[in-house]
Structure 1
Amino acid sequence: MLLHTVNKSPFERNALETCLQHAKKGSSILLIEDGVYGAVKGTLHAQRLAEASKNVKIYALAPDVDTRGLNGRLVDGVTLVDYGGFVDLVTEHNAVQAWL
């Protein structure tokens, strides 16, 4: 199982799109820093995340969501994790792929 991390806004870079193309069934995606913008409801990126969530687990780092004022604005199916949850995800997966 692979954990993919995305820290760039999909409105500035294509890291999320590339990640979604490479994420295999059973892997997980963690949105951190500006990557959390990819999960905002009503965007093309959110639609793609919703589709991807059928095969992969989608997470977002709660402090980054809070800092950007996005509470309650994320697409359904995104699980919020704190820093401890981030560490748990890293240890639960065989490897981490950072998409920059």
Structure 2
Amino acid sequence: MLHTFSRSPFVGDLDAMLLTVRAGDDLLLMQDGVIAGLTGTTALHQLTRAPLGLFALSADIDARGLGVHFSDKITIIDYNGFVSLTVKHAQQMAW
């Protein structure tokens, strides 16, 4: 399953999302959800411990000026990469 997280981890329910993930799932951080990928945050620590492929949209990272603070543990992709994730996963859950 592809999980898309579009809200700040300070507002969105990251804990609930992490309870539903299974091995083989992927997570795409988008919109304000990219804040969860900042180096040194609790959210990043939680994400890297989960059995997920971790991705983030480059346009959303750039729009927020977070590139220099973004973790190298998350794969940064463009919209073509987003389309590839949707093709890979028949099901999607938006958070």
Q: With structure 1 as the length reference, what TM-score do the two structures score?
A: 0.89
Q: Is the 8 A contact 1:10 1:17 kept in 2?
A: no
Specify the alignment match of 2:6 in structure 1. 7
Which 5+ residue runs of structure 1 have no aligned equivalent?
A: none
1:57 to 53, 56, 70: 53
Q: Deviations over 1:29-83 (max 9, x none)?
A: 000000000111111101111212xx21000011000111111322232001101
Shift of 1:13: 2.5
Tell me the secondary structure at the aligned position of residue 45 of structure 1.
helix
Divergent runs of 4+, >6 A = none
Aligned residues: percent identity? 38
Tell me the secondary structure at the aligned position of residue 72 of structure 1.
helix
Q: Is the 8 A contact 1:50 1:75 kept in 2?
A: no
Which 5+ residue runs of structure 2 have no aligned equivalent?
A: none
Specify the alignment match of 1:73 in structure 2. 69
- AA of the residue aligned to 1:68: R
Tell me the secondary structure at the aligned position of residue 67 of structure 2.
coil
Calculate the aligned-residue CA RMSD, in Å: 1.1
Q: With structure 2 as the length reference, what TM-score do the two structures score?
A: 0.93
**Pairing 1:1-100 to 2, within 5 Å after superposition:** 2-14=1-13, 16-52=14-50, 55-99=51-95
- AA of the residue aligned to 1:27: D
